[in-house]
Structure 1
Amino acid sequence: VESLDRISRETVMDAATRLFALVRAGIIVVTLSDGQEYSEERLRTDWTPLMFSLIVMARAHEESRIKSERVGEAWRQKKVVARREKKPLTPRCPEWLEVRDGKFVKRAERVALVQRVFTETIDGFGRREIARRLNSEGVPTFRSGKGWHTSSIAKIIESRAVLGEYQPHTGTHRNRNRRPDGDPILDYYPPIIESGTFWQARGAIQGRRQNAAGRTGMSGPHLFQGLARCAHCSSPMHILNKGKPPKGSIYLACSDNIRKVGCENDRRWRVDAMEPLLIAAIDMMDQSAFNNENQEVGQLRAKAEAIKTQIADFEQRQRSLIPLVEIGDDTATSRSVDLARSIRRLKKDLSAINDEMAIASERPNVADAIASAASISARLDISADIQERRELRTRLRSIVRGIVDNVIFHQRFGATTFFIERRPFRIRKRQDLYVFSMLLEHGQPKVLLDQNVPNAVLDDWAQWCI
């Protein structure tokens, strides 16, 4: 090697241990800068090279430490300037921006693409579907990769840089010590997404249940995806494709029954027959009952105000301890540390509540969703374009998931829709085409989708629902 500092710049003890390990393994180390040879044979009779090695190692470590401190201090100064003047730290920036003449400049085509991703997320398209649509249209990726991936879409949706925020960090991913350095810098980047849009997209993602993932087919997702479960074993209902109509069709069936692992619910439900029933049941709901639905936001706001008051009280107590801490009072110091921990915890709780409140505030209006469901369903009935039908079904499924909690399929009773619990709840109109049986308990309506069910079975169904 050129010099021992090329082997290690660790502390002397660690670097010497590394050198000795090489020598004991039978490796002869020769330094070209001073012509020294480090071998087991020589060091057993001549220990003078060890003195030189320790000096070189100490100097290398000290130079590395000083360089690290200087670089670190330079970065700290850059971050201070960034917070004060909002100037770019380096040419690196989000993919939809670039640095020109020391300023961030939007890249119009990429900004439009990011905005499209947020819009489609709100409309109910998942990451996989958005990536598929971009790839099918030949939209180039930000870094000339081989097509869009779900991870690429996720990074866009989760990035607060779209709001203009920049979060400085210390450490590196390689050393696994990367962590936030202080609070985010607001308005550091030019914002390209409004706060309401950002939180509405986050709310749409949270609203999709984990088990809603899976293949959707060329015509788009069926409306029961992620909602349908077996009443007997609680397993999800899966699709069975029995071929094309009129002889065949697509059915919903208990996944455990399909796999023959114990569930006896062998009944099958035709998807094309059940979907119109679900839309008709939703259409019965009185839209006006939800026009002033703001209880959740009010409760969250009250929690946030209570936490703010507590934080202010703890901060005042901490300030009153400063004189005692400065003179070395151990009890006051310990109490100040405890208060600091409590303040950090409360601020974390407050941030989480603010996030929930933002999502709840931007949640789509239920009254509008009910009206949209029937409208989109009517367009589906007349549309022959495959791509349009896919988009309409995706939007319709997103609406349904904001209204329906789940649909439980019972071998004897049939399919029962459990709507998300809301108060008040009223029936707007009775369906002329379908006759539904319904129960309302604790603000949660339950509607039996199956038609022409015998009265004796209905009595048992009512008991089962309770």
Structure 2
Amino acid sequence: MSGLVYSYTRFSDPRQAKGTSAERQAAYAARWAAEHGLRLDESLTLQDEGLSAYHQRHVKSGALGVFLAAVESGKVPAGSVLVVEGLDRLSRAEPIQAQAQLAQIVNAGITVVTASDGKAYSRERLKANPMDLVYSLLVMIRAHEESDTKSKRVKAAISKQCEGWLAGTFRGIVRNGKDPAWTRLVDGKFELVPERVEAVRTALDLYRRGYSPRRITLHLANEGLQMTDSGPQSLQIYRLIQQRALLGEKEIAVDGTTYRLPGYYPALLTPAEWDDLQAVAHSRVRRAGKSVVPHLITGLRIAVCGYCGHAMVGQNIGTRNRRADGGIHDGHRRLNCITYKNADCTIKPMTISVAPIERALMTYCSDMLNLQALYGGDRSSGPRARVAAARAKLAELTQQIERLTDAILQAGADGGAPLTFARRARSLEAEQVEAEKDLSAAERELAALARVDLAGADAAWQRLAEGVEAQDYDARVRARQLVADTFQRIVIYRAGVRPTETPKGIIEIMLVAKGGVGRLLQINAQGQLLAAEATKQQWE
């Protein structure tokens, strides 16, 4: 026999590693290698702590998965030996899956030795003693059944604790999943970790102000703030804004049932603040891009070409000569119809400076009378209509599902329901889930709008106007958020609504406020407002 000896240990609970089984197995592997004239490979550490073999986490993200990949790629020489405490250390998955895993190793010319009983499983031995294969299968069946029973018992206990929490009869710790990094358990109660809370609050504030996750992580790193031990990462921001732990809730999913335990953690956000945050996350339009000079109206799925209806995109030509203050010249900050490269949109000019449009927008919105004209009195009418439409859609789908369910039950009583009934039911249920999401988003938008008053809105635009013109990053990010909060659609007519009749250099912009009406602005190449009038055109 030639090859190397490898030792693999696995503990589903890291606390098990404190025992002596790992040392005992290591000694056994060394002794086995010496007795068979092989060398124990001590350079490769094969140990998984806290990884379940029942859920195959040790294969998906653990050392065993690395070993199996090395076997498959031929990096583990044929004739090598893998020493494990028992076959249950390799897998507690369904027997057919566990046996396939053992077969993968054995078929690669690797011998599996179990330290608990000294048995060796190799292709030659199993061929000579087929009953060993049967024995291995019985061990795997028993291991899976033990884990399956334990899993069901644990799930039942967790469900009981969750139901007790919701009923107010249980206030203990529910051992399931990870707790948020901004909390710590002290004497059976969760407390906030001040330095982590500061990092979380800073990240949320920047997200609301329109910063991208990348910018947020850079800011946190520069300030020396960490939300977790691993340091700031963009992915953490995406996860953070969806965590109901911010509300103080613990969310647990058990066998398809989701429990939300209110008051489990100290809350960082009020329900109103949570709704506002989810409205931001749902629209996905308030985050600034990576540009050094963020554009105010592009990248928000708001600005469109008035001629072809496609999106307008921004471009900074930053390689050319800069202004004396280091900023980008107006002519080098462009606004293009996304189709201009393939000439699908034929109205020229295909590209214009975005500076006059931004300048006119900031000036127009800095006047309260203009803002009032945009909203036409009731700014909540649009969101209310969307909520009503979403509710009607959901009610219609619910009725369809109920009728189809009745038909399936009747068909079953008459001898069997057609397969098309089941397919249609699944399709309707998927539509129902999407309709529920749409309704939640519309209700969040309406709730957020109800908390915002026009009073002082003009001052918010006025405060940012100078910084926007100076290309200050923070001012432009804040103004970008105001644009996202205010407008449902911004339609750009690069050469006017009627290009053949409009004087050269004139740009027309239709502003449609959320829940408001359309206003058509006419501006010149410097961004000066020449005319403004109401329009009945609405955009959905």
Normalised by the length of structure 1, the TM-score is 0.69
Rate the CA distance shift 1:351–1:71 in 2: closer, same or farther, 3 A.
same
Q: Does 1:398 align with 2:490?
A: no
8 Å CA contact 1:403, 1:419 repeated in 2? no
8 Å CA contact 2:335, 2:353 repeated in 1? no
CA distance in 1, matches of 2:116, 2:325: 86
Give 3-state SS (helix, strand or coil) of 1:367's partner: coil
CA distance in 1, matches of 2:396, 2:468: 56
* Greater mean deviation of Cα atoms: 224-233 or 158-167: 224-233
Rate the CA distance shift 1:296–1:332 in 2: closer, same or farther, 3 A.
farther
Give 3-state SS (helix, strand or coil) of 2:260's partner: coil
Give 3-state SS (helix, strand or coil) of 1:406's partner: strand
Counterpart of 2:229, as a letter, is S
Give 3-state SS (helix, strand or coil) of 1:98's partner: strand
Q: Does 1:198 align with 2:282?
A: no
Counterpart of 2:313, as a letter, is P
Partner of 2:317: 240
Instruction: For residue 267 of structure 1, report the CA deviation from its aligned partner.
Output: 6.1
CA distance in 2, matches of 1:208, 1:24: 50
Give 3-state SS (helix, strand or coil) of 2:322's partner: coil
Partner of 2:227: 142
Partner of 1:275: 358
Q: How many aligned positions are there?
A: 414
8 Å CA contact 1:253, 1:267 repeated in 2? yes
Within 5 Å, give how 1:86-235 maps onto structure 2.
86-90=171-175, 92-139=178-225, 141-146=226-231, 148-169=232-253, 180-207=256-283, 209=285, 213-217=289-293, 221-226=294-299
Q: 1:249 aligns with which of 316, 329, 333?
A: 329
8 Å CA contact 1:79, 1:89 repeated in 2? no
Partner of 1:419: 511
1:103-138 per-position Cα deviation (integer Å, ceiling 9, x unaligned): 222334433443343333333333333333322322
1:334-374 per-position Cα deviation (integer Å, ceiling 9, x unaligned): 79999997789647634541332122220374734751344
CA distance in 2, matches of 1:332, 1:348: 33
Give 3-state SS (helix, strand or coil) of 1:182's partner: strand
Within 5 Å, give how 1:334-349 maps onto structure 2.
346=432, 349=435
CA distance in 1, matches of 2:96, 2:295: 65
CA distance in 1, matches of 2:360, 2:227: 44
1:367-421 per-position Cα deviation (integer Å, ceiling 9, x unaligned): 3475134421456499x9x9xx433332222213333423526264543322115
Give 3-state SS (helix, strand or coil) of 1:95's partner: coil
Give 3-state SS (helix, strand or coil) of 2:250's partner: coil
Higher relative contact order (Cα pairs below 8 Å, separated by 6+ residues):
1
Within 5 Å, give how 1:413-452 maps onto structure 2.
413-420=505-512, 423=516, 434-443=528-537
Give 3-state SS (helix, strand or coil) of 1:402's partner: helix
CA distance in 2, matches of 1:43, 1:223: 70
Give 3-state SS (helix, strand or coil) of 2:138's partner: helix
Instruction: For residue 58 of structure 1, report the CA deviation from its aligned partner.
Output: 0.5
Give 3-state SS (helix, strand or coil) of 1:193's partner: coil
Greater share of strand: 2
Within 5 Å, give how 1:23-62 maps onto structure 2.
25-28=108-111, 30-31=113-114, 33-36=116-119, 38=121, 47=128, 49-62=129-142
CA distance in 2, matches of 1:74, 1:142: 30
Give 3-state SS (helix, strand or coil) of 1:420's partner: strand
Instruction: For residue 156 of structure 1, report the CA deviation from its aligned partner.
Output: 1.6
Give 3-state SS (helix, strand or coil) of 1:416's partner: strand
Within 5 Å, give how 1:300-379 maps onto structure 2.
300-303=386-389, 330=413, 346=432, 349-350=435-436, 352-363=438-449, 365=452, 367-368=454-455, 370-377=457-464
Identity of aligned residues (%): 20
CA distance in 1, matches of 2:216, 2:97: 51
